[in-house]
Amino acid sequence: MRSIRLLVLTLLILAVPAASFGQFTISVMIAPPPLPVYVQPMAPDAGYLWTPGYWAYGDEGYFWVPGTWVMAPAVGLLWTPGYWGWGGNAYAWNAGYWGPHVGFYGGVNYGYGYGGVGYQGGYWNNGAFNYNRSVNNINVTNVHVYNKTVINNTTINHVSYNGGNGGINARPSSADQIAARDRHTAPTTMQTQHIRTASTNHGLLASVNHGRPAIAATTKPGEFNRGAVPAKQAGGPYKAADNHTAATRTNANKVAANNAAATRANENKAAQNKAAATRTSENKVAANNAAATRANENKAAQNRAAATRTSENRVAANNAAATTRANENKAAQNKVAATRTSENRAAANNAATRSNENKAAAQRAAQPAPRPATAAHAQPAPRPQPAPRPESHPQSAPRPTTAHAQPAPRPQAAPQPAAHPQGAPRPEKKAPGGK
């Protein structure tokens, strides 16, 4: 049970987003013990930064997390330690973090460069970390060093919390507030494992070591057996918290329940927001799809209408062409028929004319030809009759002899003058007896 609760504590620390480090992750009713006095082990190599030890809280109360050297997760990052702060009804733990600047850590004097404000243990320069050997235990042969005197008050003030009864009265400066708005990075995996290992070491419980842990600091995270440094002395008198244990556990459970409720509320809110965003996206997609569908339908309808109009125009053009050709053919046929009819009628009329002419010619041939007053046709002059002989005896006048009418000559192919010139009177036929 104890290991499970300590694991929950570790997970709570890890669950805090990087941008939120500096917010409390757990709270208890009693203040943590004073910081023990210990010597910093030697830095293992270049690029390792010092992270001071602190009192963490587990199922059996406070336990010590040894200070250790940690490889920075990236060039240019510095470590801001966590701290306990009074929140009005409990002490809350504000987790540490990595960032480009060292922020507020409660004014707690952790020592070795962390004197309560900022960090005087070193700085980054051209990708390499320069160590202040006045506050760091380093090997000067393999790292960049400088020397700047820093007043270390670890022998004077060992208070491990801010505010409350007996706590440090410090508030964030403007520089601390600016650093709090930086992009923060969570503790490394090695740091997390270091906390987990400390939580399982019974000798690190404050109730066991009374504020003087046997392992106060290590050379690297998790190396509790090799290179570990014990505390020289406790930072102050140890006050047992037996009377507050039950209340502390109740409060811790209550805080855990509240945190769980807040987590569920946040998860529900996130789920609702996600669902709302999903619905909004779905509605937007549906609206876009509907608009696209309508556009496609309108385009299809326009294409169909255009195709229909084209087909209708083509049909109308074909019909018009067919009608025109039919009318033209019918007109041509009618014209040809009318022409043939006219020609036939003309031929019939010509035939009737010829028939009438032939009939008239036949009639003229059947009648004696009258002596025309004016010769219509040049004919040989009649033979002169011999003058009558004077008769010795008068005789009655001889009866005139009627010349036999000669048949009219057949008309020649060449055009002939009219048989009866206009204006010429036709010779009258005298009745017998001379009338």
State both tokens at 205.
């419980």
pLDDT top residue among 379 and 341: 341
Residue 232: pLDDT band with limits 50, 70, 90: very high
Q: What is the mean pLDDT of the chain?
A: 78
pLDDT at 354: 78
Q: Any idea of the CA torsion for 134, 135, 137, 140, to the nearest 10 degrees?
A: -40
Q: Whole-model pTM?
A: 0.54
CA distance linking residue 126 with residue 108, whole number of Å: 30
How much is the average pLDDT of 303-326?
77
pLDDT top residue among 42 and 402: 42
pLDDT top residue among 396 and 92: 92
372, pLDDT greater than 90? no
pLDDT at 347: 75
Least confident window among 2-6, 270-274, 321-325: 2-6
Question: Computed from CA positions of residues 71, 73, 74, 77, in that sequence, does the dihedral angle turn out positive or negative?
Answer: negative
Give me the helix-helix angle, 189-199 and 2-15, nearest 10°.
Answer: 160
HEC per residue, 82-145: CEEEECCCCEEEECCEEECCCCCCCCCCCECCECCCCCCCEEEECCEEEEECCCCCCCCCCCEE
Strands 144-146 and 217-218: unpaired
222, pLDDT greater than 80? yes
| Residue 413, C-beta contacts closer than 8 angstroms, at least 6 positions apart | none
pLDDT at 14: 40
pLDDT top residue among 3 and 41: 41
Listed as own residue / partner, the contacts of 260-265 with beta carbons closer than 8 Å and 24 or more positions apart are none
pLDDT at 257: 66
79 closest CA partner among 177, 190, 188, 223: 188
pLDDT top residue among 6 and 216: 216
Residue 135 lies in a domain: yes
Residue 233 lies in a domain: yes
How many domains does one find in the chain? Answer: 1
CA distance linking residue 129 with residue 146, whole number of Å: 11
State both tokens at 194.
């270091």
290, pLDDT greater than 90? no
Least confident window among 63-77, 78-92, 318-332: 318-332
Q: Any idea of the CA torsion for 144, 150, 153, 159, to the nearest 10 degrees?
A: -60
Least confident window among 136-140, 203-207, 357-361: 357-361
CA distance linking residue 134 with residue 136, whole number of Å: 6
How much is the average pLDDT of 416-425?
48
CA distance linking residue 119 with residue 72, whole number of Å: 15
| Residue 128, C-beta contacts closer than 8 angstroms, at least 6 positions apart | 46, 144
Classified as helix, coil or strand, 223 is coil
Least confident window among 106-115, 122-131, 309-318: 309-318
Residue 196 lies in a domain: yes
421, pLDDT greater than 60? no
pLDDT at 299: 83
Q: Which residue has the tokens 């910081």?
A: 35
pLDDT at 246: 44
Residue 116: pLDDT band with limits 50, 70, 90: very high
Residue 367: pLDDT band with limits 50, 70, 90: low
| Residue 31, C-beta contacts closer than 8 angstroms, at least 6 positions apart | 84, 86, 91, 160, 161, 164, 165, 166, 167
State both tokens at 161.
């919390």
Residue 224 lies in a domain: yes
Instruction: Give percent of the chain above pLDDT 70.
Output: 72
Helix (H) or strand (E) holding 336: helix 242-366
pLDDT at 369: 55
What range does the domain containing 152 cover? 2-240
Beta bridge partners of 123: 130
Classified as helix, coil or strand, 3 is helix
* Angle at the Cα of 17 from the Cα atoms of 11 and 20, rounded to 5 degrees: 115
Classified as helix, coil or strand, 406 is coil
Least confident window among 3-12, 77-86, 137-146, 147-156: 3-12
* Angle at the Cα of 204 from the Cα atoms of 225 and 230, rounded to 5 degrees: 55
pLDDT top residue among 12 and 170: 170
Residue 6: pLDDT band with limits 50, 70, 90: very low
Residue 69 lies in a domain: yes
Residue 24 lies in a domain: yes
Q: Is 33 in contact with 236 (CB distance < 8 Å)? A: yes
Question: Computed from CA positions of residues 299, 302, 306, 312, in that sequence, does the dihedral angle turn out positive or negative?
Answer: positive
CA distance linking residue 49 with residue 131, whole number of Å: 9
Backbone angles phi, psi at 48, to 5 degrees: -85, 135
